[in-house]
Amino acid sequence: MINYQLILAAGAGIFILLILIMMVRIHAFLALLITSLVVGIIAGLPPLDLIQSVQNGMAGTLGFVATVVGLGSIFGALLEHSGGAQALANYMLQKFGVKNASWSMVITGFLVAIPVFFDVAFIILIPVVYALKKQSGKSILLYGIPLLAGLAITHAFIPPTPGPVAVADIVGADLGWVILFGFITGIPAAIVSGPLFAQFIAKRIDADPPELTENETSSLSTSPFAIIAIISIPILLILMNTFANSPLLTNHIPDSLRSWLGFVGHPFTALILANMVAWYFLGIRKGQTPKVLMEISTKSLAPAGVIILITGAGGAFKQVLIDTEIGKMIANSMQAMDVPLLVFGFLIAAIVRILQGSSTVAMITAAGMSAPLIAAFGPSEIQKSLLVISIASGASILSHFNDSGFWLVSRYFGLSEKQTLKSWTVMTTLIALVGLATILSINLVLS
């Protein structure tokens, strides 16, 4: 029997969320909480139960996400301040040469965005792109698009960046599997949307970028090998824990050892250890005082706080969908129409992304709507991690006028709106489509 009250609640929820963000311009944190309350009221959830549902959703999400995002933000800020991003870019250019600079840029972007926020990493590395254009005389897009592709893919696909961390927690996916499949999916997406697309679009669009101001470049430098090693610490520890608990190795590792591997490889411990290494080798050893390092760490938590609160509100939205049984209704409808869970997550994220611009809001919304379907579809741990990347792919699609990233690229590359649509917007769409195709292929092989 069709429950029209639940259908009305679900439809009204998405509509109200988009109106609040797009037209009323209410912050996504508040908009998600308002939407959660409205959905619960329309669905008939008792008022006090609704408040408890929102509270449980916030609490259940923030316990993990707040810690990981906070630690990841401090880690990224220490790496950013060290000047390691530019050192890594310069090293890659030396190895690849100017002729293959587009490949060095995509690899640099891919690595740097693991600990550093997208926009910060872009601003740090843009002087390298400018220098390449000046040296070669070719279109800035030949080097800029690969850099952007590497940054965008890692930022969306690979923890400990906030987006995949938040989605993984909401849908209950293991971060180790998310990291592994994020890398596997990210590589073909980076190749197609980066160097290959750059070769095509650079022949058709050129532009004169504006001059950089002094404060947009980094004054410090460090070894690129040190940066790669430090970035690898949390990733390898988390993956070690995942593999130690996989069915292939569970029976071959003593329980006591697996327990310690689980402790060291937990995202909390892994990121704490990575922070301590970065604090010493990129801070104290380079002559930075504890006071300066404290200021860097404190400043890094400001943007993290916004992401944490939005994620918590997304967790509240998810819990309301579960408690009202809207999620169960959507799952039954999807099963009747034979819509795969991976495709559903991608489509919801893509729709929200295109309509309101923010990839973070798109990912959180899609995760909130997908999480209640987990019980109905019964996905494996691997399939839940693939769902995270599928949602991330959908949230990357078709960046245009309502996305701040669109204007960041337009400004720094000196592109018109039409040129930005033909380059940046197409690049983000290629990331999304290649990401989805890769995820579906992996699921087909492993299922």
pLDDT of residue 248: 66
Question: Which residues, other chains included, contact 22 with Cβ-Cβ below 8 Å and sequence gap of 6+?
Answer: 355, 356, 402
pLDDT of residue 342: 96
pLDDT of residue 2: 66
* 101/194 Cα distance (integer angstroms): 11
pLDDT of residue 84: 81
| Count of CB atoms situated within 10 Å of the CB of 324 | 26
* 410/107 Cα distance (integer angstroms): 22
- Residue 210 in contact with residue 126, Cβ under 8 Å? no
Q: Which long-range contacts (CB under 8 A, 24 or more apart) does 52-60 make?
A: 53/316, 53/319, 53/320, 53/323, 54/316, 54/319, 54/320, 55/316, 56/319, 57/312, 57/315, 57/316, 57/317, 57/318, 57/319, 57/320, 58/312, 58/313, 58/315, 58/316, 60/315, 60/319
With the C-alpha atoms ordered 404, 410, 416, 422, is the resulting torsion angle positive or negative? negative
200: which 2 tokens? 């095509």
Domain boundaries, the chain: 55-446
* 104/190 Cα distance (integer angstroms): 12
320: which 2 tokens? 């309301």
The list of the chain residues with pLDDT below 50 reads 213-218
* 352/364 Cα distance (integer angstroms): 10
- Residue 402 in contact with residue 377, Cβ under 8 Å? no
